[in-house]
């Protein structure tokens, strides 16, 4: 088993043409971490010039696959789908076999699959490409709804911003949720986005319009003890239809969505710093401070107090 160094070495493997946004997510989370916990290097199969999927934008990297051989974590950003270079796949397999953690963002999952690292595992990628990943790699269980999937030594994430969710999750896994909260704060992003990719998949306009009435009303009345029946009546739908539409639109049940919105509102109040924990619980419909703490720990693996301290040092 590979012995991890005191400073965690992260190699971001750019497979040409690389998705520049995906690549910079990893470099910003780990390369600008500021606590000396990580060292980050961008590498490619050959070093030197690397084209991107963005017209007119290229980049030059100074490292080749030796960076993968020395890394504690290897992150593969998205790249234009196709066969990844065999030597890059061999390097990923070698890294995995010596115990390094391997993760992908967006279509980077195709490289992990081509290397055989997703065989028998659950994985995700951008919802646009999920069907192709499942078709090309039938031994992989593709979850098209997940924002990211943790299979231990191998992790995958959906497209673009979901890569940020994954990288912050890795910081939390390495150094605890307080460190992840602090990093999210600097990057002006939520620590965790509840729900999955289903909430971003285009829908028929009638579905979106039907739920807009419900969701806007619910968000304005979170302090009330809302029930699924209340939401159904507001949307002039049966509870069964409401459940079906919420599953299609948000990838979760109406009750789970309500809890997500309450927690999102709670985060905003906690960042204020002047509202008591009891008042946060009351104003978000979570009832008591004890209930708020239980939901917060379940959703974020952190306490409301820890979250507040990260935003009000």
Residue 145: per-residue pLDDT: 83
Q: What is the DSSP letter of 191?
A: S
Domain 202-313: which CATH number of 2.30.110.10, 3.40.390.10, 3.30.1280.10, 1.10.10.60: 1.10.10.60
Residue 120: per-residue pLDDT: 96
Cβ contact 184:224 at 8 Å: no
227-258 residue pLDDT tens: 999 999 998 899 999 998 888 888 789 999 99
Q: Just give the CATH number of 8-186.
A: 3.40.50.880
Cβ contact 181:189 at 8 Å: no
Residue 206: per-residue pLDDT: 47
Q: How far apart are the first and last CA of the chain?
A: 39
> Which pTM value belongs to this model?
0.73
Q: Where are the beta strands (DSSP E) in the chain?
A: 8-13, 38-43, 48-51, 58-61, 73-76, 101-105, 122-123, 141-142, 148-150, 154-157
Residue 300: per-residue pLDDT: 80
| Residues of the chain where predicted confidence (pLDDT) is lower than 70 | 1-5, 192-196, 198-209, 313
Cβ contact 117:102 at 8 Å: yes
Can you give the residue ranges of every domain in the chain? 8-186, 202-313
Q: Do domains 8-186 and 202-313 have the same CATH topology?
A: no
């Amino acid at each position: 088993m590979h012995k991890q160094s005191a400073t965690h070495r992260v190699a971001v493997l750019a497979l040409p043409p690389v998705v520049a946004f995906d690549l910079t997510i990893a470099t910003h989370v780990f390369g600008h971490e500021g606590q000396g916990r990580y060292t980050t290097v961008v590498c490619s199969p050959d070093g030197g010039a690397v084209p991107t999927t963005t017209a007119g934008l290229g980049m030059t990297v100074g490292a080749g696959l030796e960076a993968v051989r020395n890394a504690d974590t290897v992150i593969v950003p998205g790249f234009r789908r196709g066969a990844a270079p065999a030597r890059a796949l061999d390097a990923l397999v070698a890294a995995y076999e010596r115990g390094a953690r391997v993760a992908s963002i967006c279509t980077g999952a195709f490289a992990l699959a081509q290397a055989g690292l997703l065989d028998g595992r659950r994985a995700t990628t951008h919802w646009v490409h999920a069907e192709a990943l499942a078709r090309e790699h039938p031994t992989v269980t593709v979850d098209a709804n997940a924002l990211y999937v943790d299979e231990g030594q191998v992790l995958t994430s959906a497209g673009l911003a979901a890569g940020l969710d994954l990288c912050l999750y890795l910081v939390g896994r390495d150094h605890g949720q307080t460190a992840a909260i602090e990093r999210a704060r600097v990057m002006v992003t939520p620590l965790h986005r509840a729900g999955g990719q289903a909430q971003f998949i285009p829908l028929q306009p009638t579905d979106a319009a039907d739920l807009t009435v419900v969701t806007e009303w619910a968000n304005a009345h979170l302090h009330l003890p809302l029930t699924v029946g209340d939401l159904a009546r507001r949307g002039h739908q049966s509870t069964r239809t409401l459940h079906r539409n919420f599953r299609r639109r948000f990838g979760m049940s109406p009750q789970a969505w309500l809890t997500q919105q309450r927690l999102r509102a709670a985060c905003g109040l906690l960042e204020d710093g002047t509202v008591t924990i009891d008042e946060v619980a009351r104003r978000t419909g979570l009832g008591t401070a004890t209930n708020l703490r239980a939901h917060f720990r379940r959703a974020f693996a952190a306490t409301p107090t820890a979250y507040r301290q990260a935003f009000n040092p």
